C-alpha cells in the first residue's frame, strides 16, 4: 500500500514558465502525484519535488527547441519531458513514444484531459516505428538509457540535419566521450552540452545536443528505413 504524499504548491516561477497553461501544468502535477504514483509511473518520494525536478526541469528544455518543429519524445514514460514541453510550446507537433501499455494509457488520458491537440501518443519502441513514424526534426529523451544506446534508438527517427536533445546529469561530458565511436557510425556530425533554465531551476538542466548530417542513423538505418517505408506503402495499397 502506497502512503499518500502531499503535492507541494507550485513555485512562483512556474507561473512565468507555463504562462497561460499554468492551470494545465497544475492539473498534470496533480495527476502525476495521484494516478502516476498509484500506477507505478513515478515513485512517491518524487512527489515533494515534482515541480522543480520534473515539470520545470523538463519545461526549460523549450529554450533550445526550434520553433514550429516536429518532436518525438522517446521512452516518454509518464510524459517527461514531452508533456511539460507541450504545455509551454503549443507551436510544436509532439509524439509521445512509449512501449508500455499502462504508460500509454496514462499518457492518452493526460493528453485528453489537458486538451493537448498538438500531442499524439504512440505505443511502441523506437526500432519498431522506424519507417512508419514520419521522421522528425527533434528527438527528446530523459532518463531513458546511456547516450550510446539512446542515440541508437533516437537518431534514426530524425530527419536529415535534425537533432536529439537528451536531458542528462553531471556525467554528460563523460557520456559523450564514451559514445563518440557509436555516434559517428550513426551519422552524428556534432555534439555539445547545454545548460538551460537559468533563474528557473537550480542547478540548471543539462542537455546533450546531438546533431545529425544527411543520413540519420548511418547507412544501415537508411536501408532499414527505406525497407520499412516500402512495406508500409504495400500495406496501404491492399
Closest CA to 85 of 48, 121, 127, 57: 57
82 annotated to a ligand binding site: no
CA distances from 8 to 38, 82, 93, 171 (A): 18, 22, 30, 29
Q: How far apart are CA 106 and CA 23, in angstroms?
A: 19
127 annotated to a ligand binding site: yes
152 annotated to a ligand binding site: no
Q: What's the grid cell of residue 88?
A: 509551454
Closest CA to 87 of 59, 50, 56: 59
Q: What's the grid cell of residue 164?
A: 536529439
Closest CA to 28 of 133, 117, 106: 106
126 annotated to a ligand binding site: yes
Answer whether 150's CB lies under 8 Å from 175's CB. no
- What are the phi and psi torsion angles at 97 (to 5°)? -105, 120
Q: How far apart are CA 187 and CA 2, in angstroms?
A: 45
75 annotated to a ligand binding site: yes
Q: Which residues are annotated as a binding site for S-adenosyl-L-methionine?
A: 75, 80, 126-127, 142
Residues in binding site: 75, 80, 126-127, 142
Amino acid at each position: 500500500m502506497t502512503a499518500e504524499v502531499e503535492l507541494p504548491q507550485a513555485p512562483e516561477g512556474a507561473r512565468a514558465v507555463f504562462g497561460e497553461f499554468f492551470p494545465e501544468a497544475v492539473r498534470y502535477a496533480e495527476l502525476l502525484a495521484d494516478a502516476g504514483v498509484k500506477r507505478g509511473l513515478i515513485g512517491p518520494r518524487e512527489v515533494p519535488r515534482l515541480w522543480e525536478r520534473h515539470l520545470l526541469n523538463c519545461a526549460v528544455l523549450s529554450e533550445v527547441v526550434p520553433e514550429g518543429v516536429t518532436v518525438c519524445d522517446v521512452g516518454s514514460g509518464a510524459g517527461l519531458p514531452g508533456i511539460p514541453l507541450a504545455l509551454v510550446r503549443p507551436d510544436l507537433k509532439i509524439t509521445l513514444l512509449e512501449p508500455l501499455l499502462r504508460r500509454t494509457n496514462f499518457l492518452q488520458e493526460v493528453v485528453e484531459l489537458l486538451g493537448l491537440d498538438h500531442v499524439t501518443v504512440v505505443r511502441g519502441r523506437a526500432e519498431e516505428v522506424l519507417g512508419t513514424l514520419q521522421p522528425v526534426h527533434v528527438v527528446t529523451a530523459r532518463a531513458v538509457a546511456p547516450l550510446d544506446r539512446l542515440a541508437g534508438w533516437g537518431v534514426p527517427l530524425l530527419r536529415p540535419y535534425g537533432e536529439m536533445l537528451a536531458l542528462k546529469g553531471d556525467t554528460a561530458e563523460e557520456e559523450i566521450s564514451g559514445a563518440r565511436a557509436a555516434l559517428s557510425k550513426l551519422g552524428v556530425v556534432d555534439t555539445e552540452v547545454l545548460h538551460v533554465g537559468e533563474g528557473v531551476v537550480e542547478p540548471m538542466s543539462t542537455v546533450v545536443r546531438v546533431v545529425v548530417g544527411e543520413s540519420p542513423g548511418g547507412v544501415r538505418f537508411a536501408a532499414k528505413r527505406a525497407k520499412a517505408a516500402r512495406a508500409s506503402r504495400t500495406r496501404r495499397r491492399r
